[in-house]
Amino acid sequence: MQKIIILDFGSQTTQLIGRRVRELNTFCEILPYNKFPEDDKDVIGVILSGSPLSVYQNDAFHIDLDRLRGRLPILGICYGAQLISYNYGGKVESAGTREYGRQQLQYIDHACPLFKGFDEHSQVWMSHGDSITKLPEGAQIAASTETVANAAYYIPEEKPIFGTQFHPEVFHTLQGTLLLKNFVVDICGSRQEWCAEKFVESTVQALREQIGKDRVILGLSGGVDSSVVAVLLHRAIGDQLTCIFVDHGMLRKNEFNDVMRDYQGLGLKVIGVDASDKFLSDLAGIKDPEQKRKIIGRDFVEVFNAEAKKITDAKWLAQGTIYPDRIESLNITGKVIKSHHNVGGLPKEMHLQLCEPIKWLFKDEVRRVGRSLGMPEHLISRHPFPGPGLAVRILGDITREKIHILQEADAIYIQNLREAGLYDEIWQAGAILLSEVRSVGVMGDERTYENPIALRAVTSSDAMTADWAHIPYEVLAKISNEIINKVKGVNRVCYDISSKPPSTIEWE
């Protein structure tokens, strides 16, 4: 299959480039800057990402551009553009002040194929401390802004080279998608064959070949990733698939039963395991968040293994790993700070092979695949929910009573978001019980001394960064009223207005 390679020089927005290319129905891979594949017969073009570094620093990331030049069209974005310039006789210097934010293009060379169809004064997004003060040899200016003369350039060769100082991948570059389409489709010649329907067709076929008559085990979580894997596998191998869904007792209100019903409605063979007694007794009295996580992780593996072992002839373990879990992200030292992690802990004697059918998909693509498989919308558009569940949303030790309070408050919160039409705009929302804090209130004629509930809702595209969602006051007022009136044990509701970073999405 045709693909674009995106070489990552450590920019925050590299993944976004990947998603934009995929939105153009073109397969792409994001690789560390120094790992261009040996086998590149399917590669139709290369994109060089941005970076927090300066090309003239001693520890800057460099590559052998001659290996690519003349063989593939190249697009350098920000640092990528500077790198090309630096290597081919241009000059890159500190801009003195960082240029950050919206700019308008004042000049566009419409003969440059990268800018085909661009409007005059198109808005672009800049974020750079260095500028290209001299273009590489043979290059022409393709676009300028009021302050940046070399905002974009091109070297018109048979396999042309382009550089943009601005970031076409970000939302604030209003014609960024057009620019990327010009590159990927017109210049690189993508046939735009990557789409959910084709993915389903080819993956089902590949799974049949891979698995044959073997049996497969899959751990379901109720989330979209593992659910999509289940339905894909079910379509490929039917009842050779057995799913295991563990209830640790800290799911949302009614979630275990609702999700079991959904799964059964989809025709899946699911073993539901109520292990809440085990989890809650092992967690009794534990307040430290990391300890909670460790206990839950350990118990989960134990419970899952005990069930999995009963399926004695299983040969495969399927997982809902998705592409962002596997992209090796770099930090400024060039060291990989995140690499592929498999769920460990399965008994070795089971000799299970790993099957990860959606490992190439971004989250939005997983959802598209789910829709194309005909899965119910509420299962597909469900907010992410952490593995340890409400355990990391109860600050303090965990008891059944606290879980009950939080489930009730959370259910009111989520229902109101749905009724207000806000649920789908929000990446993730949930209530948090501050069980170690008590405050005074008055209900009727009685003094109360009870716990607060904090509400968290964020907008995000990948959970790496997030902003608090600007829920209208009227909706918050209704939620607060309803929670305090209906949930015994809660006399105060607060709204969390912290972004990530520096806060995280979960409180623990």
# residues contacting ligand XMP (CB under 6 A)? 11
In three-state secondary structure terms, 31 is strand
Nearer Cβ to ligand XMP (224/330): 224
Q: Which amino acid is at 83?
A: L
Q: Does 478 bind ligand XMP (CB under 6 A)?
A: no
Interaction pattern, residues 485-504, with ligand XMP; x per rule: CB under 6 A: ---------------x---x
Rounded to a whole number of angstroms, the minimum distance from the CB of residue 394 to ligand XMP is 14
Q: Does 388 bind ligand XMP (CB under 6 A)?
A: yes
Nearer Cβ to ligand XMP (48/283): 283
Distance (Å, rounded) from C-alpha 69 to C-alpha 157? 9
**Using CB under 6 A, which of 40, 262, 462, 506 touches ligand XMP?**
506
In the annotation, is 78 catalytic?
yes
Rounded to a whole number of angstroms, the minimum distance from the CB of residue 415 to ligand XMP is 20
Cβ(449)–Cβ(440) under 8 Å?
A: yes
Rounded to a whole number of angstroms, the minimum distance from the CB of residue 383 to ligand XMP is 8
Cβ(136)–Cβ(87) under 8 Å?
A: yes
Q: How far is CA 126 from CA 77, 105, 150, in A?
A: 11, 11, 12
What is the token pair recorded at 34?
């120094």
Interaction pattern, residues 279-318, with ligand XMP; x per rule: CB under 6 A: --------------x-------------------------
What is the token pair recorded at 301?
């593996």
Cβ(149)–Cβ(109) under 8 Å?
A: no
In three-state secondary structure terms, 142 is strand
**Using CB under 6 A, which of 463, 489, 498, 499 touches ligand XMP?**
463
Nearer Cβ to ligand XMP (422/426): 426
**Using CB under 6 A, which of 384, 396, 441, 489 touches ligand XMP?**
384
**47: β partners:** 6, 75
Q: Is the dihedral of CA 350, 351, 356, 359 positive or negative?
A: positive
Nearer Cβ to ligand XMP (106/499): 499
Nearer Cβ to ligand XMP (163/388): 388
Write the DSSP symbol of residue 258.
H
Rounded to a whole number of angstroms, the minimum distance from the CB of residue 94 to ligand XMP is 34
| Backbone Cα Rg of the chain | 26
Write the DSSP symbol of residue 299.
H
Active-site residue (options: 28, 112, 128, 167): 167
Nearer Cβ to ligand XMP (151/275): 275
Cβ(257)–Cβ(232) under 8 Å?
A: no
Residues 6+ apart with CB under 8 A from 311: 215, 217, 242
Catalytic site residues? 78, 167, 169
> Where along the sequence are the contacts to ligand XMP (CB under 6 A)?
293, 384, 386-388, 428, 463, 500, 504-506
